[in-house]
Structure 1
Amino acid sequence: MAKGFYVSKIVAAVAILFSVAAVATIIALAVVYSEEKAKNNNNSEVTTTSTSASTGTSTATPAPSVPSASSPPSDNLWDKYRLPKNVKPVHYDVELQPHLEKNTAGLYIFNGKTTAFFVCSEPTNLILIHSNKLNHTLFNKEFHAILRDDALKEVQLTKTFLQKTTQFLVVQVNSMLQPNKQYSLYTEFVGELADDLAGFYRSEYVEGTETKIIATTQMQAADARKAFPCFDEPAMKATFNITLKYKPPYGAMSNMPAIRNTTVEEGGQQWIVTAFDKTPKMSTYLVAFIVSEFVSIGSPGNNSATGVQIWGRKKAILEEKQGDYALKVTKPILDFFETYYRTPYPLPKSDQVALPDFSAGAMENWGLVTYRETALLFEPDVSSIGNKERVVTVIAHELAHQWFGNLVTIKWWNDLWLNEGFASYVEYLGANKAEEDWNIKDLIVLNDVHRVMAVDALASSHPLTSNEDEVNSPAQISELFDSIAYSKGASVIRMLSEFLTEPLFVEGLASYLKSFEYNNTVYSDLWQHLQLAVDNQTSVSLPLKIQQIMDRWVLQMGFPVVKIDTTTGTITQKHFLLDPKSNVTRPSQFNYEWIVPITYQTATTQSIYWLQTKEGTVNEFKITGGNWLLANINVTGYYRVNYDDNNWDRLLNQLNTFHTAIPVINRAQIIDDAFNLARAQEINTTRALDTTKFLSNDTEYMPWQAALSSLSFFTQMFDRTDVYGPMKKYMKKQIEPVFYYFQNVTSNFTVRPASLTDQYGEINTLSTACSYGIEDCGKLALEQFGKWMQNDSKNEIHPNLRSTIYCTAIANGGETEWEFAWEKFKQTDNAQEAEKLRSALACSKEPWILNRLLEYSLDSSKIRRQDTISTISSVSGSSIGQSLTWDFVRSRWSQLYEMFGKSSFSFGNLIERVTRRFSTDFELQQLKQFKADNQNTGFGTAERALEQAIEKTLANIKWVNENKQAIKIWFEDSLKP
């Protein structure tokens, strides 16, 4: 799955004033009959059934009692979240019939029939199979269940019942099932086709004047059980035969190609029945099917060629050609991964589908990959270069999973990082193949390494992997889909690939995939196969076995700061914490010590040194004269670097005299390391500020973006204080020459630079200049937006510049500008343009307008539910909006929790965004009171984010008290002639 929480490159620089993000959300079920609620207020469903073997009919039986939350743990297997190991599925026959019009109760529903074939591994009279929100929850309808043995003889059932808390259909058998025999469980059921973005759900869009309905799926992590009863754990792999029944003019697709279409009459109406080919052995979370009126471009393929098609709304695909770019890059990326993995693509087709409503960025369903429209569709006249990069990297991420994750799958969700971290690394390799002149691989440093270090430097962080028994419930699973899994996972895998060399890494990877294809693994299986590759060659020498090196990075949270003293040649490491006095309660078997590959260069040397202890001495690290030493070349290692004062002085002197002598990535690294070292009290804050002085002469994107990201913290801490005045003047002074450089090379921002990073540099420069009051920038923004308002049928603002132009015009305008943008937001059916406008609407400085936007965010007729959290987060990005949003979140917490808190992967981002400005004792007390006030409601997947928010606030208070005066003086002094 692609990262759910995504900040566009277009708006990255605007984060100084406005934090803009797209957040993946999963909406909880909203429509439940009140009388059904009353009936079902127990943990288990009220009605249970006893099924006759001869007739399959059901009779009501009292449900077993379920212990309360305060009771001792139950010994009943159905009161535990994990499946017992007494049965293992081998195949499913699934038939689903979505009704894409409301029934008499005003609901969209689907009917289903499933036969689950399984092998018994030990004698048992109990079958647990996952089922959630099917039958009883909505319809007071018993499961129709029949159990048969391998001779198709029906087996007598004692009773069946639904256990709501752990989401099981419990089937108790009259006699013991025998080991090594195959059985089949047949069930019939009804479910709601809700708009909750989970399981089998409903999406809608308007084409012309007609509302179109889509029935689609999102099964990861634990929602296949919401579509049909199944053994819903990743290690429970099986094959699937999917059959869909639907009315014309709809069409259907699934993981495999359709093999048969028939027409039947039912209730006087015509239905089409589409049967799909049998899937390979796969996990339930990868099953997918869609019923829609979508159209496609591309080729369905044949026996000798893999079919690649892009699917979506007819207007977007055929009229506006928004799928053309995705079609152009998908096959080259697919071909690249076939070569990279040394394994043929396992399926006959690869469909990419753009959905109007989708919780995540994208989902790697085998053979039927689903995306948000913003992550797949691209329209040159409307979409920006950042949108284009988003499309190619998300496609690469999802296609990477077709092997790593789908063909070979983690045993359990505690190793989620291996799936997502790996795909988040190799997405850059796949995208680089599709866009070879972009040099996109370097951007992993900004997008992943630096970003996740900010989270991993907290005492409330967590290791990449955890014990399997620590992750049980769906909420605990969802909580793992965070930046640690994605971005830290990508960072440490990149580090591993770099010190192994890519040929060795690929050699071990191919061996791993071949050995475990169609099966499940734990992360250490990958280490073993990489070690085999190392053992079979002599060119790369490692100080220890791969597992000994990498377990330090996987099994303990955090990362080290390496300090090099160029006077003595000593090198030390310690656990880097933003607040060095914070209490680290999580134990580490390695005592927070890492095996660190230190790459470095001097004027005469470039090499690698392995730091295996807390401290060492390296003769090459002794520097004399005016020479400098630079460590962690191109930031291939996941660690920060500190130096003695003399080396810091020499590096700063080099930056201020001839900055290009230091590689561009390391210029960004010096800034990012310095500001974070200062926050951790490793160096003076003024030393970190000194690293920004050279930027008035540097037009490269990466150093500027590192500085803007670092200084955004200063903005958050000080934009309500007297420090912000001199800071704003300093930033204006620094950006001014860069602004006029880009104004010149782009002919007053009318033509685009050639390279990807130069285009990002132009975008950053314009947004920063407008934010800090460069008069010509504001004038440009207001003129271009004004022309659009005068001729609203023709938007001549270049897509790259729209986020900045829109935001600047709305921030400096009033209700008229806001209402114009709101109307354009409502009118557009281009998801990327809608995202730019929706983000810009939060730039208003009018509190009543921002409050109205917050109210709109909870109205799905105005803002799609998938965009609710990102809209609230956008409003919180300014000093004006932050306090409004905090009040809004507190007053609506129960509603927000009910909508998102139980399974949304990115719900925690809401807490992080709304509290990031907190830096006073009063705000800390408010945060603690918020925690106390909502203990009964709960925090769900935001629980860890809340603890991190408290920790960050404590650190912010301390940092502001210790640094405010010195920072103010530094900015004032920097403005003197």
Structure 2
Amino acid sequence: MNQHSVHFRHILNRFIQRRSCQMHPSIALMTRNRRKFRVHRGRLRRKQMSPNHATCLPQVAKCEQRDIRWDGIYVVIVPALSVTAMENWGLITIRQTDGLYKEGQFSITQKHNLQEIISHEVAHQWFGNLVTMKWWNDLWLNEGFATLISVRAVDFLENTTWRYEDKSAELQCIALRTDQMDGMIPVSANSNANIGRYMEKSPKVNAIVYKKSSIIIRMIERLIEDETFKQGLSRFLNSFLYKNADHEDLFNVLVYVHDSSAGGHLSGQNFSLSDVMDTWIRQAHFPIVHVNRLEGSIVTLRQEKYEHVPYDPPRENSQVWKIPIFYDDPVSGKHKVFWLTDKQPAVFDMGGQFVVDPHQLTYMRLRYDMDVYSDITMALLRDHNLVPANSRSRLIDDTMAMAENGQMSYKVPFNMTMYMTSEVREIFRKR
């Protein structure tokens, strides 16, 4: 797609936009940063979109530079649409059954769903419209960023106890449950691969292209720090404005920005950011990290590919990930990273934490030895807030998954759930 065709597409969308908007009454909304947002709803006068949904629009505009224009976003609610919504440039269409909400008359789930739909489609004005993937094997460049942004927008909703951390935990749970199946696709394949699988409209593909990719993007963001990540995205969007890009283009920009601030290496390691990203998007499935206590807070960490269906005898697998183990520095309070880069056990000090990766920033399952599980269960019963909410969700999901396939007794997850009479986070209520 060349620059002339992109401009033609924009002009055509503006023409259709004006024709659509002349035909239907609208609700005028304004975002927090004074962006115009207008919803056209046809004759459905008794229902409306809550103004709250304009104020919760994603902060994707932080990536915006002055040469990326946004004159206004129009939303048209249509009676029939083959998909839930479509991110036409400046003219988002949403299916009637998914696009309407009125406070007090609709459920909180419907409110969340509409918020995610709008935020997702608005994010596509940048990731998908202003910059478009070169080929379908990199569809995740569109959908992963849009999904991450839509999940973050939950923090801008009013009158709800849902939080961004709850939604990210839910995403990871769904992605892992799908990605553990045999024959799953990686986030990004070679350009000559069977790209037909990436174009399928199925829950399995969506779990990888939308959900898993968004989790990996979030992991990379934490790895290189928020400000560096924002600078990288800004440079990427401006460098490929009205053009096509692939994952290597994104990697090159992020590596360039990261190299400028970190000298090209990660926490003193002899590999680059690009080396890390390759292990996560080019390989299907995910690792499980075994945590075994040596003494006190000192444990060993060992990785292998997670096999949900055990093989007898076990089959050889050469998959290895460069796994960042995030932990909180007790002095600065900032995230630090311990690297697990091969299959050899590595010694790690958990410090004052009851769990590894307490904020669930890495896409993996964790399996502790029984002594550690016992300590975690006692801590949850004493005060469940000693373990962050994301880790509480992960503990239950991981142990249930391993009990399902016979790798551990159901007593482990069932004992762990005894604390849940005190649980108040929405992620657990939804389950």
TM superposition score normalised by structure 1: 0.40
| Contact map agreement 1:603 1:628 (CA 8 A) in 2 | no
Q: Distance in 2 between matches of 1:384 and 1:293?
A: 30
Instruction: Tell me the equivalent position of 1:578.
Output: 308
Cα deviation per residue 1:602-637 (whole Å; 9 max; x = unaligned)? 99998431111112332515x8xxx76311222111
The structure-2 alpha-carbon separation of the partners of 1:331 and 1:653, relative to structure 1 and needing over 3 Å to count, comes to closer
Cα deviation per residue 1:773-797 (whole Å; 9 max; x = unaligned)? xxxxxxxxxxxxxxxxxxxxxxxxx
Q: Distance in 2 between matches of 1:452 and 1:696?
A: 27
> Is 1:255 the counterpart of 2:13 in the alignment?
yes
The structure-2 alpha-carbon separation of the partners of 1:349 and 1:583, relative to structure 1 and needing over 3 Å to count, comes to farther
Give the one of 199, 214, 217 matched to 1:477: 199
Instruction: Tell me the equivalent position of 2:237.
Output: 513
Amino acid at match of 1:620: D
Instruction: Tell me the equivalent position of 1:559.
Output: 286
> Is 1:620 the counterpart of 2:349 in the alignment?
yes
The structure-2 alpha-carbon separation of the partners of 1:681 and 1:445, relative to structure 1 and needing over 3 Å to count, comes to farther
| Contact map agreement 1:594 1:613 (CA 8 A) in 2 | yes
The structure-2 alpha-carbon separation of the partners of 1:416 and 1:582, relative to structure 1 and needing over 3 Å to count, comes to farther
Give the one of 317, 334, 337 matched to 1:608: 337
Give the one of 27, 39, 42 matched to 1:310: 39
Provide structure 2 residue ranges, at least 5 long, that are not aligned to the other structure. none
| Contact map agreement 1:560 1:639 (CA 8 A) in 2 | yes
The structure-2 alpha-carbon separation of the partners of 1:645 and 1:602, relative to structure 1 and needing over 3 Å to count, comes to farther
Q: Distance in 2 between matches of 1:565 and 1:655?
A: 20
Q: Distance in 1 between matches of 2:384 and 2:354?
A: 14
| Contact map agreement 2:326 2:337 (CA 8 A) in 1 | yes
| Contact map agreement 1:459 1:582 (CA 8 A) in 2 | no
Q: Distance in 1 between matches of 2:23 and 2:116?
A: 27
**Residues 951-970 of structure 1 correspond to what in structure 2 (within 5 A)?**
none
Q: Distance in 1 between matches of 2:425 and 2:155?
A: 20
How far is the alpha carbon of 1:661 from its aligned partner?
1.7
Cα deviation per residue 1:815-846 (whole Å; 9 max; x = unaligned)? xxxxxxxxxxxxxxxxxxxxxxxxxxxxxxxx
The structure-2 alpha-carbon separation of the partners of 1:646 and 1:431, relative to structure 1 and needing over 3 Å to count, comes to closer
The structure with the largest alpha-carbon Rg is 1
The structure-2 alpha-carbon separation of the partners of 1:384 and 1:522, relative to structure 1 and needing over 3 Å to count, comes to same
Amino acid at match of 1:597: P
Cα deviation per residue 1:200-254 (whole Å; 9 max; x = unaligned)? xxxxxxxxxxxxxxxxxxxxxxxxxxxxxxxxxxxxx562487xxxxxxxxxxx6
| Contact map agreement 2:166 2:425 (CA 8 A) in 1 | no
The structure-2 alpha-carbon separation of the partners of 1:704 and 1:531, relative to structure 1 and needing over 3 Å to count, comes to same
Give the one of 371, 376, 385 matched to 1:660: 385
Amino acid at match of 1:478: E
> Is 1:454 the counterpart of 2:177 in the alignment?
yes
Amino acid at match of 2:54: T
> Is 1:466 the counterpart of 2:193 in the alignment?
no
| 3-state SS, counterpart of residue 549 of structure 1 | helix
How far is the alpha carbon of 1:451 from its aligned partner?
0.8
| 3-state SS, counterpart of residue 255 of structure 1 | helix
The structure-2 alpha-carbon separation of the partners of 1:531 and 1:652, relative to structure 1 and needing over 3 Å to count, comes to same
| Contact map agreement 1:361 1:372 (CA 8 A) in 2 | yes
The structure-2 alpha-carbon separation of the partners of 1:695 and 1:464, relative to structure 1 and needing over 3 Å to count, comes to same
Cα deviation per residue 1:250-303 (whole Å; 9 max; x = unaligned)? xxxx62157xxxxxxxxxxxxxxxxx89xxxxxxxxxxx859943212289xxx
The total of aligned residue pairs comes to 418
Q: Distance in 1 between matches of 2:374 and 2:400?
A: 15
Q: Distance in 2 between matches of 1:633 and 1:694?
A: 18
Instruction: Tell me the equivalent position of 1:175.
Output: none
How far is the alpha carbon of 1:443 from its aligned partner?
2.2
Q: Distance in 2 between matches of 1:299 and 1:479?
A: 32
> Is 1:527 the counterpart of 2:251 in the alignment?
yes
| Contact map agreement 2:169 2:390 (CA 8 A) in 1 | no
| Contact map agreement 1:322 1:379 (CA 8 A) in 2 | yes
Instruction: Tell me the equivalent position of 1:677.
Output: 402
Instruction: Tell me the equivalent position of 1:700.
Output: 425
| 3-state SS, counterpart of residue 383 of structure 2 | helix
| Contact map agreement 1:594 1:612 (CA 8 A) in 2 | yes
| Contact map agreement 1:593 1:613 (CA 8 A) in 2 | yes
Amino acid at match of 1:333: L
**Residues 666-815 of structure 1 correspond to what in structure 2 (within 5 A)?**
666-705=391-430, 708=431
How far is the alpha carbon of 1:320 from its aligned partner?
2.0
Provide structure 1 residue ranges, at least 5 long, that are not aligned to the other structure. 1-87, 93-236, 243-253, 259-275, 278-288, 709-977
Q: Distance in 2 between matches of 1:435 and 1:464?
A: 33
Instruction: Give RMSD over aligned pairs.
Output: 3.4
Q: Distance in 2 between matches of 1:584 and 1:454?
A: 21
Q: Distance in 2 between matches of 1:512 and 1:602?
A: 31
Q: Distance in 2 between matches of 1:380 and 1:407?
A: 34
**Percent pairwise identity:** 25
Q: Distance in 1 between matches of 2:379 and 2:38?
A: 52
Amino acid at match of 1:464: V
| Contact map agreement 1:422 1:493 (CA 8 A) in 2 | yes
| Contact map agreement 1:598 1:609 (CA 8 A) in 2 | yes
| Contact map agreement 1:337 1:430 (CA 8 A) in 2 | no
Cα deviation per residue 1:717-746 (whole Å; 9 max; x = unaligned)? xxxxxxxxxxxxxxxxxxxxxxxxxxxxxx
Amino acid at match of 2:386: A
Give the one of 634, 644, 647 matched to 2:372: 647
Amino acid at match of 1:320: R
How far is the alpha carbon of 1:332 from its aligned partner?
6.1
Amino acid at match of 2:192: D
Q: Distance in 2 between matches of 1:435 and 1:455?
A: 32
How far is the alpha carbon of 1:671 from its aligned partner?
0.8
Q: Distance in 1 between matches of 2:75 and 2:312?
A: 46
The structure-2 alpha-carbon separation of the partners of 1:295 and 1:377, relative to structure 1 and needing over 3 Å to count, comes to same
| 3-state SS, counterpart of residue 615 of structure 1 | coil
**Residues 312-331 of structure 1 correspond to what in structure 2 (within 5 A)?**
312-314=41-43, 316=44, 319-323=45-49, 325=50, 327-330=51-54
| 3-state SS, counterpart of residue 608 of structure 1 | strand
| Contact map agreement 1:671 1:703 (CA 8 A) in 2 | no
Amino acid at match of 2:89: W
Give the one of 357, 366, 376 matched to 1:632: 357
| Contact map agreement 1:428 1:441 (CA 8 A) in 2 | yes
> Is 1:499 the counterpart of 2:223 in the alignment?
yes
How far is the alpha carbon of 1:684 from its aligned partner?
2.3
Q: Distance in 2 between matches of 1:433 and 1:296?
A: 23
Amino acid at match of 1:483: A
How far is the alpha carbon of 1:530 from its aligned partner?
1.1
In terms of mean alpha carbon deviation, does 513-522 or 434-443 score higher?
434-443
How far is the alpha carbon of 1:413 from its aligned partner?
0.8
| Contact map agreement 1:297 1:310 (CA 8 A) in 2 | yes
The structure-2 alpha-carbon separation of the partners of 1:601 and 1:529, relative to structure 1 and needing over 3 Å to count, comes to closer
Instruction: Tell me the equivalent position of 1:423.
Output: 146
**Residues 71-470 of structure 1 correspond to what in structure 2 (within 5 A)?**
237=6, 239-240=8-9, 255-257=13-15, 293-298=23-28, 307-314=36-43, 316=44, 319-323=45-49, 325=50, 327-330=51-54, 333=57, 336-342=59-65, 346-433=69-156, 435=158, 438=161, 440-470=163-193
The structure-2 alpha-carbon separation of the partners of 1:556 and 1:241, relative to structure 1 and needing over 3 Å to count, comes to closer
How far is the alpha carbon of 1:471 from its aligned partner?
3.8
Amino acid at match of 1:256: R
Instruction: Tell me the equivalent position of 1:595.
Output: 322
How far is the alpha carbon of 1:417 from its aligned partner?
1.5
Q: Distance in 1 between matches of 2:198 and 2:122?
A: 26
Q: Distance in 1 between matches of 2:330 and 2:250?
A: 38
| Contact map agreement 2:132 2:244 (CA 8 A) in 1 | yes
The structure-2 alpha-carbon separation of the partners of 1:571 and 1:446, relative to structure 1 and needing over 3 Å to count, comes to closer
Q: Distance in 1 between matches of 2:289 and 2:384?
A: 23
| 3-state SS, counterpart of residue 468 of structure 1 | coil
